[in-house]
Homo-oligomer: A and B are copies of this chain.
Amino acid sequence: MIPFKLTDEFLEHIETLILDQKDTGLQLLLEEVHYADIAEIVNELNTADATYIIKLLESDKTSDILTELDEDVRESILANLSTKEIAEELDELDTDDAADIVAELPQNIVQEVISELEDREHAKDIVDLLRYDEYSAGGLMAKELVKVNVNWNVLTCVKEMRAQAENVTRVHSIYVVDDEEKLKGRLSLKDLLTTSTKTHIKDVYIPKVDSVSVNEKPEEIAKIMSKYDLEAIPVVDEIGRLVGRITIDDIVDVIKDEADKDYQMAAGISQDVEADDSILDLTKARLPWLILGLFGGVGSATIMGTFEGVIKDHLSLLLFTPLIAAMAGNVGVQSSAIVVQGIANDDLKGSMVNRLIKEILLSALNGTILAIILFCFAWLIEGDVKMALAISISLIAVIIVAGIIGTFVPIFLHKRGIDPAIATGPFITTSNDIFGIIIYFSIAKMFL
């Protein structure tokens, strides 16, 4: 298949059809387009046009479109819908997606929307989900699942399952519970396809099943599901009762969001922004880190001022400060990135002391190679062996210290329960700039 690509022409065509109120034309045109692609189109329309499309199409499709929209676009469309219209959309959605939308609604209309829901079981499930923290298994899970009682026979089981499956978009596993709803195990779909219909559940079910607690954090669930190649995982409450299930598509989103967040953090972007956000939003995300960098630079300038003595006699020392600062920054970012990734992937083993020793050896090796190259250049440019030596030896020291800071800070933050990713990017470059310059001038002072 060729994935849908939204063109300006297509967008204009849609806008013209809306303007001319060609409803049949629009319906025909969008009939074959996937809801995720229609969401892409709607994201680009103004609110009036976007609302027009949502009101025009059938709610089994528009409900899915709504879940895929950018949050601000969805919000302004929903503001144009009546509580009854919103309830119709929610009736079509799985409980997890419906609960996410309800959580975004203005507080004063939530109750009305919920009372308008036609399917009362569905309404109850949505309300249940609202009480969980968005950032937990409870906040990610859906209530739709297929479960059977361990004491049933296969006949009852198949009958019950057929009824349940009507509400479940994708059947992954059939969960087995006891009379108290406690999760006991699972039946695989494969077993279902290959087992005779006369068997008893308790004789065929697999009494082992991975599950997560309702309070588990999304990243942990992502680690478990990707490590053990799971496509769905049941969620249990504090006493082991089956309360929902999480599917891999939601976890794929978690993995992508986590990766995006870490990447932006490393690049000095403090909020989740996209290239197409407004200049104001982008400034809000970028400026704080730039101000940090500015303070660092002012700090560096002030510190350099205190080394007046050695600077006056050896002016060309100053020519190499950008080099020293850049190397300190680069080494720090490399070290912290490796540690942050190690923590994220759970493959950081051994003690902190060992890790620091390794980083020191590594930095000493890199530093020595770089110092030899720098020595040749500095000698060539300055024609002063003593000066070239001072600069090169400083470089080794600066690289080692930068490596230590880059390794230590994220591990330390992680142990304190703070996201180590904040230690990457501008934070580490700025602090390493300052340390680098102090070390550089101190060593130069000793030498010269």
A-side residues, CB < 8 A to B, are 1, 3, 6, 34, 36, 44, 161-162, 165-166, 168-171, 189-190, 193-194, 210-212, 220, 223-229, 231, 248-249, 251-253, 255-256, 259-260, 262-264, 266-269, 273-276, 279, 282-283, 286-287, 289-291, 293-294, 296-298, 300-302, 304-305, 311, 315-316, 318-327, 329-331, 333-334, 336-339, 341-342, 345, 347-350, 355, 358, 361-362, 365-366, 369-370, 373-374, 377, 381, 424-426, 429-430, 433, 437
A-B CB contact pairs (8 Å), 30 listed = A36-B229, A165-B194, A170-B190, A189-B189, A229-B249, A248-B248, A251-B252, A252-B252, A260-B345, A263-B266, A267-B336, A269-B337, A269-B338, A274-B338, A276-B348, A276-B349, A283-B366, A290-B327, A290-B334, A290-B370, A291-B373, A297-B327, A301-B319, A301-B322, A302-B381, A305-B319, A315-B315, A318-B319, A326-B429, A330-B429
User: Are A297 and B324 within 8 A (Cβ)?
Assistant: yes
In-complex Cβ contact of A342 among B190, B267, B274, B315 (8 A):
B274
Least CB distance from A408 to B in Å reads: 13
Q: Is the interface of A mostly helix, strand, loop or mixed?
A: helix
Collect the chain B residues with CB atoms within 8 Å of residue A305's CB.
Answer: 316, 319, 381
What residue in chain B is nearest A37 (Cβ atoms)? B227
Q: Which residue of B lies closest to A168 (CB)?
A: B190
Taken together as a complex, chains A and B put the C-alpha atoms of A283 and B334 apart, in Å, by 11
| A248, B248: Cα distance in complex, Å | 8
Residue of B nearest to A249 (CB): B229
Chain B residues closer than 8 Å to A274, beta-carbon distance: 338, 341-342, 345, 347
Nearest opposing residue in chain B for A342, CB measure? B275
Nearest CB of B to A244, in Å: 15
Listed from nearest, the 9 A-B pairs whose CB atoms lie closest are A297-B323, A267-B337, A259-B259, A275-B342, A318-B318, A301-B319, A229-B249, A322-B325, A300-B322
Q: Is the CB of A370 within 8 A of B327?
A: no
Could you say which residues of chain B place their CB within 8 Å of the CB of A325? 322, 325-326
Q: How far is the CA of A226 from the CA of B373 in the complex (A)?
A: 47
Interchain CB contact (< 8 A) of A322 among B223, B342, B373, B437: B437
Q: Could you say which of B220, B231, B296 contacts A326, with CB atoms under 8 Å apart?
A: B296
Residues of B within 8 A of A189 (CB): 170-171, 189
Q: Which residues of B contact A253 (CB under 8 A)?
A: 226
Q: Smallest CB-CB separation from A216: which chain B residue?
A: B1
The residues of B that contact A1 with a CB separation of less than 8 Å are: 210-212, 224
Give the complex CA separation of A323 and B321 in angstroms. 10
Query: Once bound together, how far apart are the Cα atoms of A147 and B102, in whole Å?
Result: 40
Residue in contact with A171 in the complex, picked from B34, B190, B301, CB distance below 8 Å: B190
Once the chains are docked, how many angstroms separate the CA of A334 from the CA of B302? 26
Residues of chain B lying within 8 A (CB to CB) of residue A287: 366, 369-370
Q: Which of B36, B269, B275 contacts A228 (CB 8 A)?
A: B36
A362 — nearest CB in chain B belongs to which residue? B279
With A377-B298, A381-B302 known as contacts, the answer to whether A249 contacts B224 (CB < 8 A) is no
Q: Tell me if B341 and A326 are in contact (CB < 8 A).
A: no
Find out whether the CB atom of B161 lies under 8 angstroms from the CB atom of A341.
no
